[in-house]
Amino acid sequence: MDGLSAIGTELISRFGVYALLLIGMWLIIRALRKDAEKVATRMAEQDEDHARDRVKWREDETHLREQIRELRADLEEERRARHAAEDAARAAGVPPSPPASPRHRLPDG
């Protein structure tokens, strides 16, 4: 610190207070640059995180859409099988069975 004090004293004696102002401004600019680099690094990391999240969300969305497609195909297959069974029962002369759901049953009396 003695060297820095000597430099500061020498600058003040030769250039006055303006030298101190210039040194102070230089230190502030240096600190701001370091902070700006830290912020830029942090923002780049966040951008990378968001990009990874978007990729994961797209993969999840694709997987869910595939599952929905499979469920719809299964449902359609079951519907066709039920209609085929009903058609076969009608052809054999068997009366149709009531729906399984209580909502579809007719109220008594």
44-86: pLDDT as tens digits: 999 999 999 999 999 999 999 999 999 999 999 999 998 998 8
How many CA atoms does the CB half-sphere of 106 hold within 13 Å? Answer: 4
Q: What is the rounded CA–CA span in Å between residue 20 and residue 28?
A: 12
3-43: pLDDT as tens digits: 778 877 777 777 777 777 888 899 999 999 999 999 999 99
- For residue 97 the two structure tokens come to 């069975």
Residue 30 vs residues 25, 27, 33, 36: alpha-carbon distances, Å: 8, 5, 5, 10
Residue 87 vs residues 3, 7, 74: alpha-carbon distances, Å: 103, 103, 20
- pTM of the entire structure? 0.50
Q: With contact defined as beta carbons under 8 Å apart, do 34 and 26 qualify? A: no
